[in-house]
Amino acid sequence: MNMATPLLKFTIWLFLSIGAGATMAISGVYLYLAPSLPDAETLKDVDLQTPLRVYTADGLLITEYGEKRRTPITYQEIPPQFIDALLASEDDGFFEHSGIDFKGLARAVFDLVTTGRKKSGGSTITMQVAKNYYLSSEKTFTRKFTEILLALKIEQALSKEEILELYVNKIYLGKRAYGIEAAAQVYYGKSIQELNLAELAMIAGLPQAPSAANPIRSPERAISRRNYVLARMYNLGKISEADFQTNIRKPTTARYHGATSEISAPYVAEMIRQEMVRRYGNKAYTSGYSVYTTINASRQLAANKALQTGLLKYDRDHGYRGPQDNLEQISLSVRSNPVVEEWLAKADPSKDTDWPATLAQWDETLFELGDYGMIEPAVVMSVQPEGGWVYSPGDVRWLPFSGMEWAAPYLSVNSIGSPPESALDVLSVGDLIWLQPSREGLSLAQIPEAEGALVSMNPVNGGIESLVGGFSNSDNQFNRATQAERQPGSSFKPFIYSAALDNGFTTASLINDAPVVFKDASLEGTWRPENYSGKFYGPTRLREALYRSQNLVSIRILKQMGPPAAVRYIKEFGFNPAKMNKDLSLALGASSVTPLDVATGYSVFANGGYKISPFVMQKILSDTGEVLYEANPFIAATPPQTEQDESEESLVISEDTKTDKQAISGDVSDTNPADFTEEQEPVRYAPRIMSPENNYLTVSMMRDVIRRGTGRKALALGRNDLAGKTGTTNDQKDAWFAGFSSDLVATVWIGFDQPSTLGRWASGGTTALPVWIDYMRDAVADSPERPLELPEGIVTVRIDPESGLLASPGQSDAIFEYFKAGTAPTEYARAKSILPYQDEDTNSGTGSVIPEQLF
């Protein structure tokens, strides 16, 4: 007993010394680290890196940009079952401890001392919040001590709910997803509130190894981790045995989902991205900006559908070019086993496929192809004469032969081969093909080689309401609506005719439509222009010449007024004069313009003669909802009389100062958006560049293009307020239709990226106009018609249709025509007896006769 007393004393003093030493060490560490610890209160105001989001005018998400996909949510929005899963996986004592799990830390230290390796960090969720928000990922004792001290401070400053909210919004969960809401969108394409128990457990298991063990990269590891989380939930009494048994048997349905999008407008999104980077640099991707565009969601949907439908039809009419590729099937084989190899030598590979492995390989290929809108990729699994079974991700479907009867082989742009007699003539097992679903069933399709663009805008303020820059942004990011500079052909003629009216011509001016030869050095020698139809019509009134699209009349008009005068007039419509031909080819639309240029110019016709600038960026909001920028475009309207002054010319935008960014923001200055305030900007009235009389006469002639000319197919829309013009360039390399209703301008272009013929049957009226009609049918379905108002300076006169002179008294074929006051003919035509006037248009349309009564 006497011997035990000294030993006991020694032991007690030893532990006291160790405790005192540990206390002194901890105190020293605390005193050393405490001054550098951040204030935990700052977590209440932390700014999470959130991506740039782009919206339509009506608030639908177009896309988001940023290295980190994140959508912060509140604690109340976290599903309770997810909280159970997360705590079961990461920190089941979270609501009980003070930020430190001392048992876990002791276990980690014991593992380190006994094995020399770190098996677990003993980190609580609070400690992970401290690390994620304040510390680096370096594995040092100093950082660990700092993490512990910070966790204690955080627990004192914030509630458990606030800490958990910070954690679920910050944690990295693989595939660029930061936070649980972003992870739900990335892996399942749904909100976290929409996930089932197995999916919630899958996400709750990701923090341990988000890059290596996510369900896309390593589905087997992810399922194993998910089942561990479910087992922990069951052991902790959070779920029943039935729930546990049901959910551990569920396969993973996770696959990569791109940025959440409620409306497809990728070309618009890219325009916004470029402008935001120009304004804010790389902060554009991380500061949580929200950009609202001028895009109208329903009109954008209509534009997507119309352009893709038109391009697919053109492509189908020119034959099938064959499958995009042929993917191999993985055979059932174990090469290390000689018996199996001998058996495989006698087997039929087409019937002995390792389908799970094959489909997994096909899935990977199909997912990488991207979004192509109306068509989707698939792989042929088997073929019969009546059709074929095809595989698209997660689905096996029947493609009937009726859906591929069109697939005669493509031979050239002007010819196709014999139609197929069965599906065996078209498909082979393993073919990577494209499908087009419709209400009629499934059809074979292919990615068109021809491209196109469609852009529509509000003519009153220039807001772009829909824009499609090509068949698919996944295939090619080149924005043909704003970047493709092509010849507009006859769609440019309304500008020539308007210039003519401004230079002494009238709608009844008689121009000879006859063969002509020009010898001009600027035209590279001898030039013999012809009409599209190859016919000549002799003396023709200006109105007839426009709706018949007679080239020779346009050339003679331009020759009489002179190209320089025409360029001076036309540049005010928004065209760059440096890119406009200064010779007679200007009359045939041989200059280089973009579809947006044409739509901008046509807006002047549609709005009554005012010059507006296109824009697509309506406003920019900060992550807190503060308005950083709001567009203040020019408005096509006459200012109130009291506001007019002698400085009105200051509103004119010169071509020298106009830049591409105007199409984005509608701005004419280089003002930083941070300088804008929410104060109401003064209304900016657009300058008038056409007289009301000129505008009325030009638009009335353009309406005749649809009533009786090359745009007659648009009569199918059953509206009386449509006007426009077709355009076809030499050798059918470009097909255009540009036109407008009372409140919407739209331009369509079809062609190849590398200019080549679309084929002998292609033209503006047959290739581009149907796309315009399909778009306008949906886009203006709910828009009321507005009559063309007759200005005070216009008079109506009965004239002789052949001479353009005043009609003789009692003349049976006389027609009514409009003139600017003081320009109507004063001479009478010779008295005659003639049959009623017949329209001789041969370019397009149904051939029906519409009386030329203009009111």
The residues assigned a catalytic role are 90, 490
**For the chain, how big is the Rg over CA atoms in Å?**
36
Cα separation, 671 vs 651, whole angstroms: 17
Contact predicate 676/618, CB 8 Å: no
* Chain position carrying tokens 């507005």: 786
Contact predicate 764/727, CB 8 Å: yes
Contact predicate 177/185, CB 8 Å: yes
Range list of H helices, 121-265: 125-134, 141-157, 160-170, 180-188, 197-204, 219-235, 241-248
CA distances to 407, 458, 483, 765 from 455, in Å? 31, 11, 12, 18
What single-letter DSSP state applies at residue 384? E
Q: Decide: helix, strand or coil at residue 36.
A: helix
The residue among 477, 692, 736, 754 whose CA lies nearest residue 595 is: 736
Beta-carbon contacts of 179 under 8 Å, excluding residues fewer than 6 positions away, are 48, 70, 71, 72, 73, 168, 169, 170, 171, 173
Q: Cβ of 341: how many Cβ atoms within 10 Å?
A: 12
Contact predicate 740/699, CB 8 Å: no
Cα separation, 811 vs 817, whole angstroms: 15
Residue 477 exposure: Cα atoms within 13 Å on the Cβ side: 5
Q: Cβ of 200: how many Cβ atoms within 10 Å?
A: 25
- Cα torsion 555, 556, 562, 565: sign: negative
Range list of H helices, 421-562: 480-483, 493-501, 542-548, 551-561
* Burial environment of residue 332 by CB neighbours within 10 A (0 to 12, 13 to 18, 19 or more): middle
CA angle 14, 17, 20 (to 5 degrees): 150
* Chain position carrying tokens 């005659």: 832
Amino acid at the residue 383: V
Q: What is the DSSP string of 42-66?
A: GGGG----B-EEEE-TTS-EEEEE-
Q: What is the DSSP string of 168-202?
A: HHH-B-STTBBSHHHHHHHHHSS-GGG--HHHHHH
Kind and range of the H or E element at 102? helix 102-115
Kind and range of the H or E element at 10? helix 4-33
99: left (phi over 0), alpha (psi -120 to 50) or beta: left
CA angle 670, 674, 676 (to 5 degrees): 80
Beta-carbon contacts of 580 under 8 Å, excluding residues fewer than 6 positions away, are 567, 570, 571, 586, 591
Q: How does strand 325-326 pair with strand 794-799?
A: unpaired
The residue among 555, 533, 584 whose CA lies nearest residue 709 is: 533
Cα separation, 13 vs 778, whole angstroms: 90
Cα separation, 819 vs 582, whole angstroms: 29
Beta-carbon contacts of 610 under 8 Å, excluding residues fewer than 6 positions away, are 604, 634, 636, 637, 686, 687, 688, 689
Cα separation, 3 vs 16, whole angstroms: 20
